[in-house]
């Protein structure tokens, strides 16, 4: 079985661009990825593309062939939809496709246009990742769902809003020098605690912003990289995916995310490593509590121990396991369909020394990316290793 290498990456700025279409965003990101990879467009054999709310935001379904056009490639093109994990699953399928010999070079990425919907429209669009009959009809919003998990966590393990605030502060700090982040602005614990409530106990600064953006990368087989002389120092060595019951109420745990644990177990086994080998991670912190649930499910911290990790400095840039050195979804932004690929791009740059925060992890060789859909009814986990 061939290895899978990251040959080139491309990224738009993440932010508010209500006038820019999804197709324009993806055109920019995909051009960047193909240019950086240095491959001929004719060598790209497929497009695997992630998008969640295109029908609601742009009246545009069936986006994959459109995005292949925008990327200037005539190849089989498929859209993947798993809510906020849409491009995470696209990456996973691309990795499998290259490994099984179906393709040697694949363009994979995602895009989301969100800010043109406004806050109410985006809140509605995001909510449909939950169970329509039993959750949306009860008034559960996306922040509300994570608030339910936060309150359940507090009830089961303890913890305080201040612990969550330290996560937001850390991720904003990490984004200060990240030029494509939505927020390059420091915040304080007081800012988080005093922000208007969205869904208690979560406030405005516990939540990621509404974001427009796109990300893309070219994945290639080891043989292709060697044959074409492509400089691709980072490999995807592990992939895993997990699912859980759709409605929060139907799950065994309200304060744990077993879908992430399942995805991590599979990815660790695939890469032949364990959580103790991971030196940095990009995790899906759509809300501050989500980062806590992630780092516990991934095996970095025991259940109940993750909430204090940012406050204690264990997950900060100089901690034992830096989490979200890119700024995470919280500060970098969360254009839903683009997020999974973006996390992997940030991680690859961190491992190859090309990231503005690479100095924080100068000797690191192993990183993990965790991309969660909805209230973690879907999760992908990927392991990246610096192999060159």
Binding positions for another protein, 222-251, rule CB under 8 A: 245, 247-250
DSSP 208: P
- Binding part of the chain for another protein, among 14-22, 136-144, 232-240, 320-328 by CB under 8 A, reads 136-144
CA-based radius of gyration for the chain: 19
d(CA 159, CA 143): 19
d(CA 250, CA 119): 29
Between 109 and 201, name the residue whose CB sits nearer to another protein: 201
Nearest distance, CB of residue 287 and another protein, angstroms = 11
Binding positions for another protein, 253-272, rule CB under 8 A: 254
Pick from 119, 179, 302, 362: which binds another protein (CB under 8 A)? 119
| Selected catalytic residue, list 311, 334, 355, 382 | 334
- Binding part of the chain for another protein, among 50-58, 191-199, 348-356, 371-379 by CB under 8 A, reads 191-199
8 A C-beta contact, residue 267 and residue 240: yes
Does position 200 interact with another protein (CB under 8 A)? The reply is: yes
Residue 281 phi/psi, 5° resolution?
-145, 150
The 3-state DSSP class for residue 197 equals strand
Nearest distance, CB of residue 115 and another protein, angstroms = 16
Torsion of CA 260, 263, 269, 270, to 10 degrees: -140
| Selected catalytic residue, list 11, 13, 84, 311 | 84
Pick from 114, 198, 225, 290: which binds another protein (CB under 8 A)? 198
Annotation says 317 is catalytic: no
Helix pair 161-175, 288-297: axis angle to 10 deg:
90
Stretch 152-171: interaction string toward another protein, x if CB under 8 A: x--x----------------
Give the number of residues in contact with another protein, rule: CB under 8 A.
37
Pick from 56, 65, 124, 386: which binds another protein (CB under 8 A)? 124
Closest by Cα among 343, 309, 61 to 208: 343
Does position 151 interact with another protein (CB under 8 A)? The reply is: yes
The 3-state DSSP class for residue 75 equals coil
The pairing of strands 213-221 and 4-11 is: antiparallel
The pairing of strands 46-50 and 77-80 is: parallel
Nearest distance, CB of residue 194 and another protein, angstroms = 15
- Binding part of the chain for another protein, among 5-13, 137-145, 211-219, 262-270 by CB under 8 A, reads 137-145
Instruction: Write down the residue that tokens 């660790």 correspond to.
Output: 268
Nearest distance, CB of residue 342 and another protein, angstroms = 25
d(CA 209, CA 189): 18
Between 211 and 221, name the residue whose CB sits nearer to another protein: 211
Nearest distance, CB of residue 213 and another protein, angstroms = 22
Does position 197 interact with another protein (CB under 8 A)? The reply is: yes
Pick from 6, 66, 199, 310: which binds another protein (CB under 8 A)? 199
8 A C-beta contact, residue 208 and residue 334: yes
Count, residues in the chain: 388
d(CA 303, CA 288): 16
Residues annotated as catalytic (active site), given as ranges:
84, 334
Q: Which residues bind another protein (CB under 8 A)?
A: 119-121, 123-124, 127, 133-141, 143-144, 147-152, 155, 196-202, 245, 247-250, 254
């Amino acid at each position: 079985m061939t290895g899978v290498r990251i040959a080139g990456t491309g990224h738009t700025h993440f932010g508010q661009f209500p006038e820019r279409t999804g197709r324009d965003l993806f055109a920019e990101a995909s051009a960047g990825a193909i240019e950086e990879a240095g491959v001929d467009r004719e060598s790209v054999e497929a497009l695997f593309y992630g998008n969640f709310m295109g029908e609601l935001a742009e009246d545009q379904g069936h986006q994959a062939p459109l995005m292949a056009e925008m990327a200037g490639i005539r190849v089989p093109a498929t859209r993947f939809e798993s809510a906020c994990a849409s491009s995470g699953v696209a990456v996973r399928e691309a990795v499998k496709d290259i490994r099984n010999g179906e393709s040697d070079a694949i363009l994979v990425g995602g895009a989301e246009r969100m800010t043109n919907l406004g806050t109410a429209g985006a809140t509605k669009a995001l909510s449909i990742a939950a169970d329509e009959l039993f959750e949306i009809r009860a008034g559960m919003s996306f922040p509300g769902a994570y608030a339910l998990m936060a309150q359940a966590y507090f009830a089961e393990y303890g913890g305080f809003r201040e612990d969550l605030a330290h996560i937001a502060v850390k991720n904003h700090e990490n984004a200060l020098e990240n030029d494509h982040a939505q927020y390059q602005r420091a915040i304080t614990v007081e800012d988080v605690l005093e922000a208007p409530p969205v869904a208690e106990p979560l406030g405005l600064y516990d939540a990621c912003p509404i974001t427009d953006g796109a990300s893309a990368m070219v994945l290639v087989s080891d043989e292709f990289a060697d044959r074409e002389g492509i400089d691709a120092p980072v490999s995807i060595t592990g992939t895993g995916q997990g699912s859980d019951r759709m409605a929060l109420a139907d799950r065994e745990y309200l304060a744990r995310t077993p879908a992430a644990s399942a995805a991590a177990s599979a990815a660790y086994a695939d890469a032949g490593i364990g959580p103790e080998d991971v030196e940095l991670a990009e995790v899906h912190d759509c809300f501050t509590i989500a980062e806590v649930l992630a780092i516990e499910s991934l095996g970095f911290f025991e259940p109940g121990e993750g909430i204090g990790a940012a406050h204690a400095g264990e997950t900060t840039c100089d901690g034992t396991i830096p989490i979200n050195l890119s700024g995470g979804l919280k500060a970098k932004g969360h254009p839903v369909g683009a997020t999974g690929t973006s996390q992997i791009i940030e991680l690859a740059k961190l491992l190859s020394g090309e990231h503005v925060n690479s100095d924080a992890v100068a000797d690191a060789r192993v990183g993990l990316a965790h991309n969660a859909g909805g209230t973690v009814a879907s999760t992908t986990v990927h392991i990246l290793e610096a192999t060159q």
